[in-house]
Amino acid sequence: MNMWGPYIYGGYKSTFFKYSCDAMSQEIPIHADSPRFIPRRILVVEDNPLFEQVIGQVIESLGIDGKTYFCQTGSQALSLCEDNKVGLDLALVDLGLPDISGIEVIRGLRRRYPNLPIMVISVISTERSVLAAVRAGARGYILKGDSKAAITQAIQELMLGNYPITPALARYLFKMAGGATGTSADTEHNLSPRELETLQHLSKGHKYEEVARIMGIALSTVQYNIRNLYRKLDANSQMQAVTKARDQGLI
């Protein structure tokens, strides 16, 4: 069994199981679009172990008696959904994944499960990210900085067929609905989701070591992201990079 593959969180019993794509032997029904459905198979795509635990606790608090598949990379998630024996009822996806963008994961999930409720849970709050997620097929978008109660309520809303979004991000949807066009600043600078996430943590005054711990990545990876940020933003210091990012609406 692949020790680096996604694993299953077993509902009430708080039991964790490693998952491999050939381990499933029973056909699982795919979600049927319904305003009052109870999800039995939930996918969580999240590479931060600490926040992964938070999501597991939230799901368990909702009394969902089923299985939750945790994938720490986008590639694992896409491999999981390619398994014809695996059906999903609900998906929670982070955008800043270590291999591919969460946007690509959402697109893949939408192709495989056309009616699957998908919600983004991320620290990334830029206009580009919100609109890209919605266009890819997300039905909700909340921030990791929201309270556990707010995250719980958002998942409940998603289960009821609603489209939960952090209030501070709702203006982007109105802008899209109004037919606004143009290239956002982060598109112009071609910042990756992980670079944006690093930038947001730096703007809050976190040290490099703290950013590495929060994002669940190596210090060298944080330093690599910062070098890219300096180059793309034409900045020579952390303060200058953060100032330019704020002036251009990136954070």
Residue pointed to by tokens 């056909």: 27
Candidates 174, 171, 185, 93; CA nearest to 136 is 93
Mean pLDDT of the chain: 78
Tell me the DSSP string of 41-74. EEEEE---HHHHHHHHHHHHHTT--SEEEEESSH
Q: Report whether pLDDT(149) > 80.
A: yes
pTM above 0.85, yes or no: no
Which residue spans of the chain are classified as CATH 3.40.50.2300?
A: 7-177
Contact between residue 52 and residue 70 where contact means Cβ atoms under 8 Å apart: yes
Each residue's pLDDT tens digit, 63-121: 877 888 999 999 999 999 888 777 899 999 999 888 888 999 999 999 999 889 999 99
185-247: what CATH class? mainly alpha
Indicate the SS3 state at residue 75. helix
Which residue spans of the chain are classified as CATH 1.10.10.10?
A: 185-247
Each residue's pLDDT tens digit, 33-75: 444 467 788 999 999 999 999 999 999 888 877 888 999 999 9
Q: Report whether pLDDT(186) > 60.
A: no
Contact between residue 33 and residue 118 where contact means Cβ atoms under 8 Å apart: no
Give the rounded distance of the alpha carbon of 3 from its chain centre.
22
Domain 7-177 carries which CATH code? 3.40.50.2300
- Which one is predicted more confidently, 65 or 134? 134
- pLDDT value for 178: 59
